[in-house]
Structure 1
């Protein structure tokens, strides 16, 4: 196996482990692991995952900012498996749905997840084996059903001599995003998809072994792929931040001389609102990258002043097109006036990627017109996990013969500016982004309607206190609703970022001319304060 081309997601790390064995690859809570150490851990854990010589097809990773989160992800790849991230902040019902629909062969979990793992296993119809590489003895209350491999059993394994490298078209990781039916959609990303993304970014940014990356996204969010695998391909050091540090990250960036920053814009917006982005206060940054939601121009301006030595870019891309595939480089002189509705342009497509603006019927929109942003190219996934009908609706096909293009429909409204770059206008449907997480409001509504007393529910994205950041508001109707019970019930079925910030009671919903609920009127009532929030 030659490592000259990153044909697989784990190729970059494997190459760096050979070139930079003694350099730090990962730092967590003050402890560092070299490339050689992480590589040895990943190979040993991979051996534990390959039970009786049988390569697992899909491995669930349940962890948070731990060695399992990072070395475990590598171990699953080293075993030739598809990685399926789970999230211990999710309700057991959601993790169960993901685990069963993915068809996990094994779950690899850290000690911090032991509080939630038993409930997940008990909820599953046929729980898979579990590997606990940090755990010395069977935890109290642990189910008897699944086979269990503890720390001693893992450490007794002989590490794999070499990682498994499957076919480039095999799925590297499988993420589940919010779905309008009330169930998350599975998005399989192949090694070919993700290595195309990695190659473009490696060429664009020229990262080196001297760089220091942080890591701001949960593993169930596709943005989480960028920092570890871009850092490791360059031989650089990954220094993840925990949740509490993410709320006030500037001190962390200065203390650890971080050179590469990637986050959703909301993180920067919060620092700007607090007045913490003092000019020149982030001197170590070389690259300041934002992705996952709309980037307000005032936030970009404030961050650029704080990190004047860095190049600031706005990246755009849905999970289905592998993290990001369009980019705009911020220019303090010209970018503000090129922004639309105060939002920084999303820029031009990556090399090899194509973007167009199409009408509902798949025909091109006239120059300067607004339509649905559609994408084609090597980063675009083939289709949703075991969902052919959903996949068919997600694509437009244009042209004939050699000119045939299969365009992924992003659901985002866009426009081509006079300079040829793309600008983001808004959402075509009810899908919204909250703190970088893509959410179908219909999914939250579906779960609200399952709560006692709720007869009707509409979930809306409304402006929050921070510039450019939206929050969720729920308007519900019904008899005898106990809103505290509704809120608690919802928290047991959806992740925290899908819980509405406010609830509003209304006896009768307004209707539009077509007899449908008038969401625009409801939103105006919520935003204006005409519909007061229910006190919780």
Structure 2
């Protein structure tokens, strides 16, 4: 794989430069090389060659990042789990992927049922950095996102998919990192945006600045931008909603690039944010996990490029080798200017959900175009293609929402809430917005008031914290639409959280 060879070269050529700043401690590319070699030696001498899917506990340390590269050099995939997520959920992920080995930098790993490589206590026994020969169809990682049936669904991504992503971003003349750049890495490694925030800095020889667990994320980012003079920011839009009160204090000419994704970027706050970064190019990226992070972008300029729909900045045009198609319910292309579901085709598309044929049939289809069969992924996002061939984001086609940048199926929350409840009553999960414009989760219960502590304690054992509703309302009788469906829009009126 060309991108892995390029990572190897970058590590060698930038040995004296910093690769990571973690909680104000710096690590050089030489430090990183040593960790990669140690972990690779352990992989080669511990893990059977036939084992391709390796669990990775995503701690915020140099060993965890080095583990990814060590696995890739061997043509193996990492299956990341967050140490703060309920153990039941992480065990389920490992069981679903038939994982036997786990790499964990925690001093005392809790994954006693697996063969654990403790990456923080390895002896100084080194393998080299030369990548092994392997097929590009090998998996590079599997990320698990929220699922509609109460269980997470796996999205496998191949090395060919990642190679296509790197090739597409390299083809963009407006975006070029270098080894002088100081890059924000705010994402947990189970979240797909983390791929671009560690991969592209490593390829360029840049330094990544991470966010320590347990800190107030938006305030720590504010500190990093000011004190470390960051030059490249990749963020979810909700972060700048929280930073908005500090905008008068932010004037950072050092920032060259700011990329957004993982949620709708509103034009009013984007303009205010661009005023804080006088020398910055802002990109509104679009792309689901199923299409290897990015599929295209819109270059936002407050004076010239301000295209938006209902106040949400356009998602622009597809990147190299990516195809956008807007279809109706019969997967037929709709005319320019009409709303439909956005579908993506091209070399970055996942092979399909992990062991979930039913979902694959719903989410992927093949279309004949110019004598070729093109496989498309149905994003669930409603979009419009305008006369300039720009794509405008309208909203979600289903009940999937973005919370803190994470994609959440509301039906999964409902599933777990109802599972624990002894009462056979309606429960509806809703995305509601606070006074800062950030999405939060609410749970509407069709009942008189009762103690929900058992339900919430149960949900905490089944879902990560960002999926636990913060607001509960008891409603004696749910409103219904004319066709008999529960009227979610009316339900939201019961949640006044401003």
Identify the TM-score tier after normalising by the shorter chain.
over 0.9
1:437 paired with 2:414, answer no
1:186 paired with 2:159, answer no
How far does the alpha carbon of each residue in 1:230-266 deviate from its partner, in whole angstroms, 9 at most, with x for none? 0010111112122525221222112112110001000
Residues 413-452 of structure 1: pairs in structure 2 closer than 5 A:
413-452=382-421
1:380 aligned to which of 349, 358, 368? 349
Residues 123-522 of structure 1: pairs in structure 2 closer than 5 A:
127-134=113-120, 151=121, 154-155=122-123, 157-160=125-128, 162-204=130-172, 205-243=175-213, 244=215, 246-248=217-219, 249-272=221-244, 274=245, 276-278=246-248, 281-336=251-306, 338-399=307-368, 402-455=371-424, 456-467=426-437, 469-477=438-446, 481-522=450-491
2:56 aligned to which of 54, 61, 64? 61
Moved over 4 A (4+): none
Q: Distance in 2 between matches of 1:479 and 1:501?
A: 19
Q: Distance in 2 between matches of 1:21 and 1:291?
A: 31
Structure 2 equivalent of residue 147 of structure 1? none
Q: Distance in 2 between matches of 1:231 and 1:357?
A: 33
Structure 1 contact 453–481 (Cα < 8 Å) conserved: no
How far does the alpha carbon of each residue in 1:304-326 deviate from its partner, in whole angstroms, 9 at most, with x for none? 10001010110000000111111
Q: Distance in 2 between matches of 1:427 and 1:238?
A: 33
Using the TM superposition, name which of 321-330 and 102-111 deviates more: 102-111
How many residues were matched structurally?
Answer: 492
Using the TM superposition, name which of 181-190 and 64-73 deviates more: 64-73
Q: Distance in 2 between matches of 1:13 and 1:24?
A: 15
- Mark the runs of 5 or more structure 2 residues left unpaired by the alignment: none
1:71 aligned to which of 60, 66, 91? 66
Structure 2 contact 382–397 (Cα < 8 Å) conserved: yes
1:80 Cα offset (Å): 2.4
How far does the alpha carbon of each residue in 1:58-107 deviate from its partner, in whole angstroms, 9 at most, with x for none? 11111321123211222222332111110012111111111111121311
2:77 aligned to which of 69, 76, 82? 82
1:107 aligned to which of 99, 102, 108? 102
Structure 2 contact 283–300 (Cα < 8 Å) conserved: yes
DSSP-derived class of the 2:371 partner: helix
Structure 1 contact 362–397 (Cα < 8 Å) conserved: no
Q: Distance in 2 between matches of 1:346 and 1:462?
A: 23
Structure 2 equivalent of residue 37 of structure 1? 31
Relative distance call for 1:324 and 1:410 in structure 2 (3 A) is same
Structure 1 equivalent of residue 495 of structure 2? 526
1:399 Cα offset (Å): 2.3
1:224 Cα offset (Å): 0.3
1:128 Cα offset (Å): 2.1
Q: Distance in 1 between matches of 2:489 and 2:250?
A: 42
Relative distance call for 1:507 and 1:11 in structure 2 (3 A) is farther
DSSP-derived class of the 1:50 partner: helix
DSSP-derived class of the 2:96 partner: helix
RMSD over equivalenced CA pairs, Å: 2.1
1:412 Cα offset (Å): 0.3
Q: Distance in 1 between matches of 2:57 and 2:64?
A: 7
Structure 2 contact 353–359 (Cα < 8 Å) conserved: yes
Using the TM superposition, name which of 378-387 and 56-65 deviates more: 56-65
1:454 Cα offset (Å): 4.5
1:41 Cα offset (Å): 1.1
Q: Distance in 1 between matches of 2:176 and 2:446?
A: 55
Q: Distance in 1 between matches of 2:81 and 2:97?
A: 11
How far does the alpha carbon of each residue in 1:437-473 deviate from its partner, in whole angstroms, 9 at most, with x for none? 0011001111101223343211011122223x21111
